Amino acid sequence: KNEVEQSPQNLTAQEGEFITINCSYSVGISALHWLQQHPGGGIVSLFMLSSGKKKHGRLIATINIQEKHSSLHITASHPRDSAVYICAVDPSGSRLTFGEGTQLTVNP
């Protein structure tokens, strides 16, 4: 069993839909990261959180430390949101353990 598991692996949505990607982990962590990887391969850090909830534009990330679970939400999805979304946890220090990613496709 992977230390970090994401669901779903693939997600197809219509433009405007509300999207949720889930991440469960099995180790104690100091922080959890949500990353976005575009088709060209470049990675953008979306959120780093250790408790509660963060919002940036149409993106919202939540984490429940007791349940070892985090969710990434995208409101009013758009085709440009199409990418791979990766959950990564930081057990201690700064070494990250990555989930396998969720491939999101938003159709116009």
Judging by DSSP bridges, how do beta strands 102-107 and 97-98 pair with one another? unpaired
Rounded-to-integer distance, Cα 23 and Cα 80, Å:
22
- 83 binds other proteins per the rule CB under 8 A: no
**Contacting other proteins (CB under 8 A), which of 27, 100, 105, 107?**
100
Q: Which is nearer to other proteins, 83 or 99 (CB)?
A: 99
Give the position of tokens 């963060």.
54
CA distances from 19 to 54, 73, 99 (A): 16, 5, 18
Per-residue contact track with other proteins, 38 to 77, x per CB under 8 A? --xxxxxx--x-----------------------------
Residues lying near other proteins in the complex (CB under 8 A)? 33, 35, 40-45, 48, 86, 94-96, 98-101
